[in-house]
């Protein structure tokens, strides 16, 4: 056990701290058009989001291991540096680089499986925040059973013609492009009949309808495709390989949904709240039942933080077996965050139910919003029940459910 | 940066496990817990002494190995996994810790070097310092102890016992005295020994450093709690392994029950609950030696969180076995009970969490 990062990383930490100080209070002129990444505070410099992306790339704080010719920094991936950057940015409230499905999922996919021309065309503008992507995977009848998707793609001449409907499409209204799973081989077995297509969102025949979720925000969209025609070249991998292409990066999304350090920040916010709020003139933190529930949650979050260190270490020291350790991340991370936000609501009682811009609301209503939002994350990206199937079948080697004929 | 066990620690852990697999079979454990094989427990204990379990934490200058608490934690994990029917936490972790923290140089020289060569075997009774039940508790005056201490660990086979009063002062008493009475307490867990120790004008030697400071006893209790958490970790892992194996073999409705989601989800939940406990327990053990500012909180949460997860796993793993899980035939209940007692010893989860929050609000 050695939890020290070493002297070169102490230097690097100082460098990042100085950088954060320089950009203290940074905000963006165009934040309404860029849904990802934190927005920082105010009172400091103002700039376009894309300029910030470029500054971060030049420093090697973002897109570190993406080759220079595709717009990245062109360095070696360094997980400890990434961790230091994340920690220092979070501490100083410096705006994080944009994330989102284009950067988190499409870029790694193209780097691994894209053609040279696709890499040249898409990666740089995506990293710069000038090209936003949405993910066209789920359909009304293809949720947990994603591979049963039915949106159709036919190759007619040198064009794909696409018809069908996608759902749960976050940020479709902001996006220039969509990476989409489409059934192109109707006669092949279900997993082998899918292709991974790249669709410009301004193509005629695409209709976007906002889907308001329980938080009352249009967090998702439905996207309808009617005779949408795109170039035959806009395919990643070969025809029928879409399932493999998509799975190469799906695991990445699952891990990053609920990082325990962010959950611990919320625990500390809750402790602060419980010291300030009173019930019958006594601070909530002095009420035994509430403080015990707080401690139960703190114990769980500490366990997940330690677990994250173990997983980080396993990445740095190949050969360590953490197979099940990785599989549980999405399940335990999202469930715990939901539980924590729910505890804050409970300790506030009726005040915890206040929403939107009600008088007496605490912390801008974030406890209720995130409580509901995380129910969405528990369901999305593979439900908790699907995660348990994965843990049991792939982690513990338990047998699959017998197949139903025709499914 | 490396978070995990070193090669030596993994080697230690595997050695203890292998020794128990070979020597503390379920059959032997049945004999020991039925009380018809007194020597068997001693033989297993001696075998483990050969592997060095008594001298892990004792500094080299007193003849020990001078290792970190993480070494002891992995030993404890293996003992929990194999429900090792031997004294460990009291004589080889809490006692040396307490003496190291609070002993004078003479006391350290005298007792630690004896523990290292197996000439002294300590029981530990700190329950009343953590939470005094009813009229239990000992009081010290004129060099003697009066009163009684409950749930003293490993008193029956001890040569000495460490007792604590409500102020956190730690006393060494010898077992060879007419003024001490040791009453066997039968708990559900028969793989280890618990006793009530009654003192009547019992001559006692105070550990000097505990006279005006609670820091030594707290440090010793933290170490003990991390050991109990590790023991539960090992025991819970064994229960999960047994449940998963059983679910892969047992057939009903023409298929193995592990193919039913109702069953496999229970198994996945157990794995997801337990997996982070490894990191928590190891991290707590590491902080105990190397990060004093985090040590207290980590030790408290390691104990309470692992106890909570262990309780759920003990129940679910039994349920996965169906009726067989409930029988004595399978012996699964030994692990269930070990986890159940670990949960209460040195502070039940609620008591420990109360300490956790107090340590932060100071």
* Contact check, Cβ <8 Å, B248/A6: no
pLDDT digits (tens, 9 = 90+) for A322-339: 999 999 999 999 999 999
Nearest residue of A to residue B291, measured between CA atoms = A3
Q: What average pLDDT does this structure show over B140-167?
A: 97
Among the residue ranges A27-31, A162-166, B252-256, B300-304, the one predicted with the least confidence is A27-31
Domain boundary among B96, B116, B136: B116
Q: Are residues B231 and B136 in the same domain?
A: no
Select from B271, B297, B298 the Cβ nearest to the Cβ of A395.
B271
Q: Are residues B80 and B141 in the same domain?
A: no
B6 touches chain A (CB under 8 A): yes
Select from B275, B298, B361 the Cβ nearest to the Cβ of A302.
B298
Q: How many domains, chain B?
A: 3
pLDDT digits (tens, 9 = 90+) for B190-225: 999 999 999 999 999 999 999 999 999 999 999 999
Residue A11 among the catalytic residues: no
Alpha carbon of B354: minimum distance to chain A alpha carbons (Å): 7
* Contact check, Cβ <8 Å, A298/B356: yes
Select from B70, B275, B353 the Cβ nearest to the Cβ of A328.
B275
pLDDT of residue A69: 95
Q: Which CATH class is domain A131-241?
A: mainly beta
Q: Are residues B357 and B222 in the same domain?
A: yes
DSSP A5: -
Alpha carbon of B275: minimum distance to chain A alpha carbons (Å): 6
Beta bridge partners of A46: A27
Contacts of A291 in chain B (CB under 8 A): 354, 357
Q: Which residues have a Cβ under 8 Å from the Cβ of B296 and sit 6 or more positions away?
A: B218, B222, B355, B356, B359
Give the position of tokens 């939107």: A356
* Contact check, Cβ <8 Å, B279/A291: no
Select from B1, B265, B280 the Cβ nearest to the Cβ of A388.
B265
* Most confident option among A139-143, B38-42, B317-321: B317-321
Q: What average pLDDT does this structure show over B260-267?
A: 98
CA atoms within 13 A on the CB side of A403: 4
* Contact check, Cβ <8 Å, B4/A397: no
A6 touches chain B (CB under 8 A): yes
Q: Are residues B190 and B240 in the same domain?
A: no
For B:271-310, CB contacts with A below 8 A are 271-272, 275-280, 282-283, 286, 290-291, 297-298, 301, 304-305, 308
* Contact check, Cβ <8 Å, A388/B255: no
Alpha carbon of B297: minimum distance to chain A alpha carbons (Å): 9
* Contact check, Cβ <8 Å, A387/B268: yes
DSSP-assigned letters across all residues of A87-117: HHHHHHTPPPPP-HHIIIIIHHHHHHH--HH
Select from A299, A320, A392 the Cβ nearest to the Cβ of B301.
A299
Domain ranges of chain A: 9-98, 131-241, 257-395
* Contact check, Cβ <8 Å, B275/A396: no
pLDDT of residue A33: 67
pLDDT of residue A86: 86
Is residue B228 domain-resident?
yes
CA atoms within 13 A on the CB side of A223: 32
* Distance separating alpha carbons of residues B286 and B295, to the nearest angstrom: 8
DSSP-assigned letters across all residues of A297-313: HHHHHHHHHHHHHHHHH
Domain limits at B109?
7-116
Alpha carbon of A363: minimum distance to chain B alpha carbons (Å): 22
A9-98 belongs to CATH 1.10.540: yes
Name the band, by pLDDT with cuts 50, 70 and 90, for residue B174: very high
Low-confidence ranges of chain A (pLDDT < 50): none
Is residue B160 domain-resident?
yes
pLDDT of residue A318: 85
pLDDT of residue A38: 65
Compute the mean pLDDT over every residue in chain B, rounded to the nearest whole number.
97
* Distance separating alpha carbons of residues B148 and B163, to the nearest angstrom: 10
For chain A, helix (H) and strand (E) counts, in that order, are 13, 12
Domain boundary among B181, B210, B239: B210
pLDDT of residue A279: 97
Report in angstroms the alpha-carbon separations of B32 from A324, B191, B192: 36, 8, 10
Closest CA to B12 of B65, B61, B60, B59: B65
Is residue B1 domain-resident?
no
pLDDT of residue A248: 80
Q: Which CATH class is domain A257-395?
A: mainly alpha
A264 touches chain B (CB under 8 A): no
Select from B256, B264, B272 the Cβ nearest to the Cβ of A331.
B272
Alpha carbon of B310: minimum distance to chain A alpha carbons (Å): 13
Q: Are residues B97 and B138 in the same domain?
A: no
Residue B147: give its domain's CATH number.
2.40.110.10
Neighbours of A301 (CB within 10 A): 26
Q: Read off φ and ψ for residue A206, nearest 5 degrees.
A: -100, 130
Select from B70, B256, B267 the Cβ nearest to the Cβ of A392.
B267
Instruction: Count CB pairs under 8 A between chains A and B.
Output: 156
CA angle A11, A13, A17 (to 5 degrees): 120
Query: What is the pTM assigned to this prediction?
Result: 0.93
pLDDT of residue A252: 56
Quick check: B140 and B169 in contact, CB under 8 A? yes
Residue B345: give its domain's CATH number.
1.20.140.10
Is residue B223 domain-resident?
yes
Q: Are residues B27 and B108 in the same domain?
A: yes
Using a pLDDT cut of 90, give the percent of chain B over it.
Answer: 98
A403 touches chain B (CB under 8 A): no
Residue B31: give its domain's CATH number.
1.10.540.10
* Contact check, Cβ <8 Å, A303/B256: no
Contacts of A333 in chain B (CB under 8 A): none
Please indicate whether the domains covering A131-241 and A257-395 agree at the CATH topology level. no
B1 touches chain A (CB under 8 A): yes
A161 touches chain B (CB under 8 A): no
Contacts of A398 in chain B (CB under 8 A): 244, 247-248, 258-259, 264, 267
- A352 by Cβ neighbours in 10 Å (0-12 / 13-18 / 19+) ranks as buried
Give me A358's structure tokens. 């009600």
Contacts of B290 in chain A (CB under 8 A): 1, 3
Domain boundary among B93, B116, B139: B116
Is residue B2 domain-resident?
no
pLDDT at B38 over 80: no
Confirm whether the ipTM is greater than 0.90: yes
pLDDT of residue A35: 63
């Amino acid at each position: 056990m050695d939890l020290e990062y070493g002297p070169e990383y102490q230097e690097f930490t100082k460098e990042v701290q100085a950088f954060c100080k320089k950009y203290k209070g940074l905000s963006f002129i165009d934040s309404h058009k860029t849904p990802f990444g934190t927005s920082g505070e105010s009172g400091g410099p103002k700039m376009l989001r894309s300029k910030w992306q470029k500054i971060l790339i030049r420093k090697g704080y973002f897109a570190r291991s993406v080759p220079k010719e595709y717009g990245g920094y062109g360095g070696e991936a360094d997980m400890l540096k990434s961790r230091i950057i994340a920690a220092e940015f979070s501490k100083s409230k410096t705006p994080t680089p944009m994330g989102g499905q284009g950067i988190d999922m499409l870029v790694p996919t193209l780097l691994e499986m894209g053609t040279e021309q696709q890499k040249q065309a898409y990666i740089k503008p995506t990293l710069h925040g000038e090209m936003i992507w949405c993910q066209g995977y789920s359909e009304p009848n293809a949720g947990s059973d994603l591979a049963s998707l039915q949106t159709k793609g036919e190759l007619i001449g040198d064009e794909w013609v696409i018809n069908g409907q996608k759902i749960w499409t976050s940020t479709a209204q902001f996006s220039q492009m969509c990476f989409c799973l489409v059934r192109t081989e109707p006669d092949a077995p279900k997993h082998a009949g899918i292709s991974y297509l790249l669709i410009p969102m301004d193509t005629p025949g695409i209709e976007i309808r906002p889907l308001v979720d329980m938080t009352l925000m249009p967090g998702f969209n439905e996207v309808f495709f009617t005779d949408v025609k795109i170039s035959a070249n806009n395919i990643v991998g070969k025809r029928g390989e879409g399932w493999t292409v998509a799975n190469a990066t799906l695991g990445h999304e699952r891990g990053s949904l609920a990082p325990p350090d962010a959950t611990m920040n919320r625990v500390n916010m809750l402790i602060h709240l419980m010291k300030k709020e009173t019930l019958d003139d006594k601070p909530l933190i002095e009420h035994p039942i509430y403080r015990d529930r707080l401690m139960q949650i703190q114990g769980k979050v500490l366990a997940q933080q330690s677990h994250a260190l173990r997983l980080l270490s396993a990445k740095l020291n190949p050969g360590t077996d953490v197979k099940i350790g990785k599989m549980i991340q999405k399940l335990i991370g999202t469930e715990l965050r939901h539980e924590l936000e729910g505890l804050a609501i409970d300790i506030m009682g009726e005040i915890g139910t206040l929403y939107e811009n009600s008088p007496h609301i605490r912390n801008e209503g974030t406890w209720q919003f995130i409580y509901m939002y995380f129910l969405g994350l528990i369901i999305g990206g593979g439900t908790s029940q699907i995660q348990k199937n994965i843990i049991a079948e792939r982690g513990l080697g338990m047998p699959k459910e017998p197949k139903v004929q025709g499914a | 940066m490396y978070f995990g066990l070193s090669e030596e620690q993994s080697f230690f852990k595997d050695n203890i496990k292998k020794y128990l697999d070979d020597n503390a079979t379920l059959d032997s454990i049945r004999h020991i817990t039925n009380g018809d094989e007194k020597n068997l427990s001693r033989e297993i204990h001696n075998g483990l002494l050969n592997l060095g379990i008594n001298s892990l934490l004792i500094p080299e200058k007193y003849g020990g190995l001078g290792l970190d608490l993480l070494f002891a934690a992995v030993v404890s994990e293996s003992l929990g996994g194999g429900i090792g029917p031997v004294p460990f936490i009291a004589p080889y972790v809490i006692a040396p810790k307490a003496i190291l923290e609070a002993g004078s140089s003479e006391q350290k020289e005298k007792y630690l070097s004896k523990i290292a060569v197996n000439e002294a075997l300590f029981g530990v009774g700190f329950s009343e310092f953590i939470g005094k039940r009813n009229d239990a508790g000992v009081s010290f005056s004129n060099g003697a102890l009066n009163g009684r201490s409950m749930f003293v660990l490993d008193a029956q086979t001890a040569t000495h016992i460490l007792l604590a009063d409500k102020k956190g002062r730690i006393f060494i008493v010898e077992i060879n005295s007419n003024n001490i009475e040791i009453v066997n307490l039968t708990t559900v867990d028969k793989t280890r020994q618990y006793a009530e120790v009654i003192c009547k004008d019992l001559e006692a030697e105070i550990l000097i450093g505990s006279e005006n400071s609670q820091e030594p006893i707290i440090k010793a209790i933290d170490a003990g709690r991390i050991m109990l958490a590790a023991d539960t970790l090992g025991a819970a892992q064994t229960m999960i392994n047994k449940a998963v194996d059983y679910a892969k073999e047992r057939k009903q409705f023409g298929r193995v029950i592990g193919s039913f989601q109702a069953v496999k989800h229970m198994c996945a939940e157990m794995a997801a609950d337990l997996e982070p406990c490894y990191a928590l327990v190891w991290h707590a053990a590491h902080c105990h030696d190397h990060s004093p500012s985090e040590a207290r909180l980590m030790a408290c949460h390691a104990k309470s969180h692992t106890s909570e997860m262990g309780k759920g796993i003990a129940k679910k793993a039994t349920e996965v076995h169906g009726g067989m899980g409930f029988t004595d035939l399978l012996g699964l209940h030994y692990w269930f009970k070990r986890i159940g007692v670990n949960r209460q010893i040195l502070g039940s989860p609620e008591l420990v969490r109360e300490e956790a929050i107090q340590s932060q609000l100071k």
